[in-house]
Chain A
Amino acid sequence: MAAGIKDKVAILGMGCSKFGERWGCGAEELMVEAFDEAMADAGIDVSQLDAAWFSTHYEEINVGKGGLPLSTALRLPNIAVTRVENFCASGSEAFRGAVYAVASGAADIALAVGVEKLKDTGYGGLPGNLGGTLNPQWAANGSAPGNFAQLASAYRAKHGVNRDDLKRAIAHISVKSHDNGARNPKAHLRKPITEEQAINAPLIAEPLGLFDCCGVSDGAAAAIVTTPEIARSLGKEHIVSVKALQLALSNGSESGHNGWDGSYFHTTRIAAAKAYKEAGISKPREQVSMFECHDCFSITELVTMEDLQLSPQGGAITDVMDGFYDAEGAIPCQIDGGLKCFGHPIGASGIRMLYEMYLQLSDRAGERQLASPSIGMTHNLGGAPSSNVAAVCIVGAYD
């Protein structure tokens, strides 16, 4: 395995717009909102940026293709801007581009911005994707909730879980995220809910109800990265550095070869194992202080806890019901409300997750500040359980 990027890159500044139904804003205004905060946090001038990576998922309903929407909205000084797209993991992909640029020495300071303007479609939920010219002629007639809901059918069959117990556990997951989101002024959904509300909500895709689904939000997030040495020379204290950044993509074996049982994310397991190795983490359940996982749906969060080796296989329901992942639990999860309540502007979400880990590690998370976290992890997933992109990033205090 390659030497990796552990501690080669530091976060110099971050910013995040308010997420939500931002009827009065387009993607351009959201980008500026996140960028201004990140630049103020970094304490640099725009002329110090060497290169930028830009993530959006939907181009049709958003800002179109290419890097120009970012360079134009921010009036960047004619630097390189690369647009990246990797489904809902696009934000992590933008961050990866900026981090790799710094780690390689090609850039001293690099910018990553993710944005998504979803509320210009005329209806709730995500727009459908055709996925090319062949896929629509044979792919099943599905939606995101229906694709992820299928995890529940396989997880129940594999572990012998009855529907009521599963519904209760995934309800607890959503209740926890709503409690956390209520304490986050930038979150889209800020009202606490009860388990009964979640369990009895209208069905979206069996067995997922309304409260098992994340918010569909407008928003942007930005990160400015550099080397720890430059960060220190710029006066940065309490430096947060990148410990690992791994990506794993499906190759069609889950969706086309009779091996995978449908109850877990093959890619997340691979990306997590590589990330732990890169970061030097051998006992994740003991060493990870907190994490943001890709809780697009409550069932995704449940199985991901096992895929990240934080809960034993088949043990996530017990951990969830024991409060292991609650704000006061051993490993708080979605302390900012997660995709569920902070919201899910697709291209921004991977960077939004890092924003919360960065705030927590910098002791700047306000009302939701955890006591002395040292290692934060993000898990950002794009696609569907049978075919997807899994990104795992680990950040922590730079010694």
Chain B
Amino acid sequence: MAGVTAIGTYVPRLRLLRTAIVEAHKWADPGLAAKARGARSMCNWDEDAITMAVEAARQVVDTCAPQALYLASTTAPFADRQNAGIVSTALNLPEDLATLDIGASQRAGTGALIQALAASGAYDSSLVIASDHRRTKAASPGELNYGDGAVAVVVGNDNTLLDCLATHTTSVDFIDHFRGAGEAFDYDWEERWIRDEGIARIIPPAVGRALDKAGIAAADVAHFIMPCTIRGGAAMVASQAGIPGDAVADNLAEHVGETGTAHPLMMLSARLPQISADEIVVVVGVGQGCDVLVLRAMPALAQHPHRATFAHACAHRVEEGNYQKFLAFNDLVTLERGMRAERDDYKTALTVNYRKRDMLTGLVGGRCSHCGTQQFPRTDVCVNPQCRATHTQQPQPFREARASILTWSADYLTYTADPPSHYGMISFAEGGRFMTDFTDVAVGEIDVGMPVRMVFRIKSFDRSRGFVRYFWKAVPERGEER
């Protein structure tokens, strides 16, 4: 039976304290004080839906040979350039691959998963990634409620962790919020109406129909996973559907926030350690109707390392108390970036970007077939001064290669959105080196000899043309990311 064979989770390292948000806005809205609890995940300046998707997917991509890749997001950076294609290139997947972007609704993540399950007859293995980095207006409810994150799920027919017993989708043009094409922010309607007229009326019957299809009694559901930022919303649905109250999964508001299209899967990944073999799991994605998946936990889940994927994703979280940094990183305030920032305002040579796509997007270098020297980038002449063989280099992926810092500095002069700019030379243990940016580091944290790993990040923005440039950066190897 088709089901989930692997699951990888990525949550950005930064956690914006809600007290910092509330402190900034309580002068205008004293009522916010009640929400000054916990923290929400927050992208670094160089993270977006694509970079998070890559980080989630690289945790599972080596477990499968996907024939299809679905990227679900309502915040993908490109409106017309397939975002899934960028992710697949970064993952070094072969070009004979079915790729598809799915968006325009908060249930795009569950929708993509349902489509992958439905196509399991055509594809032995599919990669479903949901990722969101939602921009919100300052002082809006979303600013407090939302978080950033991504989840990647592998769908296959063998060695499943969770079998899919049934799915059901209900489509209703219920507009709890919307974002017009080209608009920066959502427009939200009243929560009480959403709860009473939307959630309460639309979701319980859909859950019932899905359980009927699966032949499962509601009382036998052990885990009910439904994102909802309205207090008690998921419990209300469970109750109306006849699902036991203790099955309702935590919505992760305390440390993550609601991660958009990724959130049903994010909550599932967080719930995995509590799921035992043969238990029934219901996952709901909500948005203009709802998607419902009825899953059965398989014995393989008990010992599977991906049970801990959410804990690993959160293992190195860092609290951020500076709300101004959140505004800056999300382009919510008009900042003086200085004249040095004008350097990024250049036209990206798309010809070069295409010619070098495995290098720039895939971090693929070369390995000399004559002397064995690994090198980045791959060129026609071997870099080894004792070799210099020509046309001998075979593609060599560096994505998962371990490296250490040879030289570094923290630069306060050059423009970066998060000064100082940390960069330096890194040497790969198996050969190869290059000068690279470091990211997710604090002043005083790095030194010569420190082990690092590579992460896919935004290199710079071409704001004049709306282009985002991506490349790989080094982060300190903190362990337990995998």
Using a CB–CB distance below 8 Å, which chain A residues touch chain B? 121-123, 125, 127-128, 130, 133-134, 136-143, 145-147, 149-154, 156-157, 202-206, 208, 251-253, 255-259, 261-262, 385-386
Set of chain A residues within 8 Å of B435, measured between Cβ atoms: 139-140, 142, 255, 386
Q: Name which of B18-26, B315-323, B418-426 contacts chain A.
A: B418-426
Further contacts, 16 of them, CB under 8 A, given A133-B349, A146-B414, A256-B433 = A122-B339, A137-B471, A140-B423, A140-B424, A141-B421, A141-B423, A142-B435, A157-B448, A203-B410, A205-B410, A253-B384, A255-B434, A256-B383, A257-B384, A257-B385, A258-B427
Rounded to whole angstroms, the CA-CA distance of A269 and B423 in the bound complex is 26
A128-B340, A133-B349, A139-B435 given as contacts; is B425 within 8 A of A386 (CB)? yes
Q: Which of A138, A154, A256 contacts B448 (CB 8 A)?
A: A154
Shortest distance from the beta carbon of A296 to any chain B beta carbon, whole Å: 13
A123-B338, A386-B425 given as contacts; is B434 within 8 A of A205 (CB)? no
Contact mask for chain B residues 404-428; partner A; CB cutoff 8 A; 1 contact, 0 none: 0011111111111000110111011
Q: Which of A130, A140, A253, A385 has the most CB of B within 10 A?
A: A140
Q: Does B343 contact A (CB under 8 A)?
A: yes
Rounded to whole angstroms, the CA-CA distance of A251 and B425 in the bound complex is 16
Q: Which of B353, B379, B427 has the most CB of A within 10 A?
A: B427
Q: How many A-B contacts if CB must be within 8 Å?
A: 143
> What are 9 A-B interface contacts by the 8 Å CB criterion?
A137-B459, A140-B437, A147-B409, A153-B424, A154-B448, A253-B383, A253-B385, A257-B383, A262-B406
Rounded to whole angstroms, the CA-CA distance of A57 and B340 in the bound complex is 18
Q: Does B352 contact A (CB under 8 A)?
A: yes
Shortest distance from the beta carbon of B354 to any chain A beta carbon, whole Å: 11
Q: Does B431 contact A (CB under 8 A)?
A: yes
Rounded to whole angstroms, the CA-CA distance of A353 and B413 in the bound complex is 27
Set of chain A residues within 8 Å of B346, measured between Cβ atoms: 130, 136
Q: Does B432 contact A (CB under 8 A)?
A: yes
In the complex, which residues 353-380 of chain B have their Cβ closer than 8 Å to any Cβ of chain A?
A: 353, 356, 359-360, 373, 375-377, 379
Q: Which of A138, A150, A202 contacts B459 (CB 8 A)?
A: A138
Q: Does B449 contact A (CB under 8 A)?
A: yes
Shortest distance from the beta carbon of A394 to any chain B beta carbon, whole Å: 27
Rounded to whole angstroms, the CA-CA distance of A121 and B343 in the bound complex is 12
Contact mask for chain B residues 85-119; partner A; CB cutoff 8 A; 1 contact, 0 none: 00000000000000000000000000000000000
Residues A141 and B338 in contact, CB atoms below 8 Å apart: no
A123-B338, A146-B421, A257-B433 given as contacts; is B352 within 8 A of A133 (CB)? yes
Set of chain A residues within 8 Å of B448, measured between Cβ atoms: 153-154, 156-157
B: contact size bracket: 35 or more
Q: Which residue of A lies closest to B388 (CB)?
A: A251
Set of chain B residues within 8 Å of A259, measured between Cβ atoms: 385
Q: Which residue of B lies closest to A138 (CB)?
A: B471
Q: Does B325 contact A (CB under 8 A)?
A: no
Q: Does B436 contact A (CB under 8 A)?
A: yes
A146-B421, A146-B423, A257-B385 given as contacts; is B360 within 8 A of A137 (CB)? yes
Set of chain B residues within 8 Å of A257, measured between Cβ atoms: 373, 375, 383-385, 433
In the complex, which residues 376-397 of chain B have their Cβ closer than 8 Å to any Cβ of chain A?
A: 376-377, 379, 383-385
Using a CB–CB distance below 8 Å, which chain B residues touch chain A? 338-340, 343, 346, 348-349, 351-353, 356, 359-360, 373, 375-377, 379, 383-385, 406-416, 420-421, 423-425, 427-428, 431-437, 447-449, 459-460, 469, 471
Residues A258 and B409 in contact, CB atoms below 8 Å apart: no
Residues A151 and B407 in contact, CB atoms below 8 Å apart: yes
Residues A206 and B436 in contact, CB atoms below 8 Å apart: no
Rounded to whole angstroms, the CA-CA distance of A140 and B437 in the bound complex is 5
Q: Which residue of A lies closest to B438 (CB)?
A: A140
Residues B412 and A205 in contact, CB atoms below 8 Å apart: yes
Q: Which of B340, B349, B427, B471 contacts A123 (CB 8 A)?
A: B340
Rounded to whole angstroms, the CA-CA distance of A204 and B433 in the bound complex is 25
Residues B431 and A258 in contact, CB atoms below 8 Å apart: yes
Set of chain B residues within 8 Å of A256, measured between Cβ atoms: 375-376, 383, 432-434
Rounded to whole angstroms, the CA-CA distance of A357 and B400 in the bound complex is 53
A142-B411, A253-B385, A386-B425 given as contacts; is B436 within 8 A of A157 (CB)? no
Shortest distance from the beta carbon of A185 to any chain B beta carbon, whole Å: 30
Set of chain B residues within 8 Å of A130, measured between Cβ atoms: 343, 346
Residues A149 and B360 in contact, CB atoms below 8 Å apart: no
Shortest distance from the beta carbon of A300 to any chain B beta carbon, whole Å: 13
Set of chain A residues within 8 Å of B424, measured between Cβ atoms: 140, 150, 153
List the 5 closest pairs (A to B, CB-CB), nearest first: A146-B411, A150-B407, A133-B349, A149-B409, A143-B414
Set of chain A residues within 8 Å of B428, measured between Cβ atoms: 258
Set of chain A residues within 8 Å of B407, measured between Cβ atoms: 150-151, 153-154, 262, 385-386
Set of chain A residues within 8 Å of B340, measured between Cβ atoms: 123, 128
A134-B356, A140-B436 given as contacts; is B411 within 8 A of A205 (CB)? yes
Q: Which residue of B lies closest to A259 (CB)?
A: B385
Set of chain A residues within 8 Å of B421, measured between Cβ atoms: 141-143, 146
Shortest distance from the beta carbon of B164 to any chain A beta carbon, whole Å: 41
Residues A137 and B383 in contact, CB atoms below 8 Å apart: no
Shortest distance from the beta carbon of A125 to any chain B beta carbon, whole Å: 6
Rounded to whole angstroms, the CA-CA distance of A157 and B406 in the bound complex is 9
Shortest distance from the beta carbon of B278 to any chain A beta carbon, whole Å: 50
Shortest distance from the beta carbon of B292 to any chain A beta carbon, whole Å: 44
Shortest distance from the beta carbon of B450 to any chain A beta carbon, whole Å: 11
Q: Which residue of B lies closest to A133 (CB)?
A: B349
Residues A255 and B414 in contact, CB atoms below 8 Å apart: no
Set of chain B residues within 8 Å of A151, measured between Cβ atoms: 407
Set of chain B residues within 8 Å of A208, measured between Cβ atoms: 409
Rounded to whole angstroms, the CA-CA distance of A171 and B149 in the bound complex is 47
Set of chain B residues within 8 Å of A202, measured between Cβ atoms: 412
Shortest distance from the beta carbon of A242 to any chain B beta carbon, whole Å: 30
Shortest distance from the beta carbon of B158 to any chain A beta carbon, whole Å: 39
Q: Which residue of A lies closest to B374 (CB)?
A: A258
Set of chain B residues within 8 Å of A262, measured between Cβ atoms: 406-407, 425
Rounded to whole angstroms, the CA-CA distance of A121 and B412 in the bound complex is 19
Q: Which of A136, A149, A258 has the most CB of B within 10 A?
A: A258
Set of chain B residues within 8 Å of A141, measured between Cβ atoms: 414-416, 421, 423, 437, 459-460
A154-B448, A256-B376 given as contacts; is B385 within 8 A of A251 (CB)? yes
Set of chain B residues within 8 Å of A138, measured between Cβ atoms: 359-360, 377, 459, 471
Set of chain A residues within 8 Å of B375, measured between Cβ atoms: 256-257
Residues B433 and A143 in contact, CB atoms below 8 Å apart: no
Q: Which residue of A lies closest to B443 (CB)?
A: A206
Q: Which residue of A lies closest to B365 (CB)?
A: A256
Rounded to whole angstroms, the CA-CA distance of A128 and B408 in the bound complex is 19
Set of chain B residues within 8 Å of A146, measured between Cβ atoms: 409-411, 413-414, 421, 423
Rounded to whole angstroms, the CA-CA distance of A261 and B425 in the bound complex is 10
Shortest distance from the beta carbon of A307 to any chain B beta carbon, whole Å: 16
Q: Which of A133, A156, A257, A386 has the most CB of B within 10 A?
A: A257
Rounded to whole angstroms, the CA-CA distance of A153 and B416 in the bound complex is 21
